[in-house]
Amino acid sequence: MTIKIIRRIKFGNGFGVIAEFTGDKKVAPDTGYPTGGYSITPSQLGLHTIENVLAQSPASSNLWEYDLANNKLKILQVDSTTGALEEVAAESDQSGAVTRIVAFGW
């Protein structure tokens, strides 16, 4: 996963960070999208603590979701049979998957 910080914004005693995420390309076994999503640490976003993350889902078949309990950014897709949301397959090539997030913390 590639993280590009776009902007940091000060909000009182906290910060907002706008960042762009790009998924991983599958180049060998055990590469590509990790099971359970991409781990995000506060330091990757220039923060000490992440309070919340809002993920933008661009016009594509993928939706992005932040799992606050596990500090992971997940990529979801709609199951073509049931219409339910499900996480993309582990180790799948997500190099074309891009989103912007707004993270809040301090």
**pLDDT digits 0-9 by tens, 41-68:** 999 999 999 999 999 877 677 889 999 9
97, pLDDT greater than 90: no
**pLDDT digits 0-9 by tens, 62-76:** 889 999 999 999 999
Query: What's the whole-model pTM score?
Result: 0.83
Question: How far apart, in whole angstroms, are the C-alpha atoms of residue 76 and residue 65?
Answer: 7
Question: Residue 4: is it exposed, middle or buried by C-beta count within 10 angstroms (0-12/13-18/19+)?
Answer: exposed
Question: How far apart, in whole angstroms, are the C-alpha atoms of residue 25 and residue 60?
Answer: 18
Question: How far apart, in whole angstroms, are the C-alpha atoms of residue 62 and residue 26?
Answer: 17
